[in-house]
């Protein structure tokens, strides 16, 4: 009886460990080096907002621009939607969903987590 249950139980444990490690929240900052400039697929990255360099809203282009810093200290120019979460400017760390170009990061969405 015990031998019959051993394999299914071990399989469930292995699947649970893989699932929990893959989908666990990552608390630290991400790295822009994880992005490929030749790939336009949107991915999430946690970054620190560089408030010293300013946050600019351009009504004409419909974009908000600012600089963000990753875990390696790399600062990248970010182009984000004009409409940002209400508490955006009160946060120092945000999650950007977008893709990296050679000159800037295009954020399709900015999330406060």
- pLDDT tens across 29-71, in order? 999 999 999 999 999 999 999 999 999 999 998 999 999 999 9
Q: Give the C-alpha separation, 40 to 98, whole Å.
A: 8
The structure's pTM equals 0.74
DSSP 88: G
CA atoms in the 13 A half-sphere facing the CB of 32: 23
**β-pair type (105-111, 93-100):** antiparallel
Residues 6 or more apart in contact with residue 34 via CB below 8 angstroms: 43, 45
pLDDT tens digits along 62-99: 999 999 999 999 999 999 999 988 888 888 999 999 99
**Selecting from 3.30.70.100, 2.40.50.140, 3.40.50.12280, 2.60.40.10, what CATH number does the domain 28-111 have?**
2.40.50.140
Q: Give the C-alpha separation, 87 to 69, whole Å.
A: 19
């Amino acid at each position: 009886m015990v031998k019959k249950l051993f394999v299914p139980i071990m399989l469930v444990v292995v699947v649970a460990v893989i699932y929990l490690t893959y989908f666990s929240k990552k608390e630290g900052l991400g790295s822009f080096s994880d992005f490929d400039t030749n790939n336009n697929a949107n991915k999430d990255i946690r970054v620190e907002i560089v408030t010293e360099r300013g946050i600019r809203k351009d009504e004409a282009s419909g974009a908000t621009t600012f600089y963000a810093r990753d875990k390696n200290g790399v600062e990248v120019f970010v182009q984000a939607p004009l409409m940002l979460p209400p508490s955006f400017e009160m946060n120092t760390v945000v999650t950007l969903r977008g893709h990296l170009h050679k000159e800037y990061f295009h954020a399709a969405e900015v999330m406060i987590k």
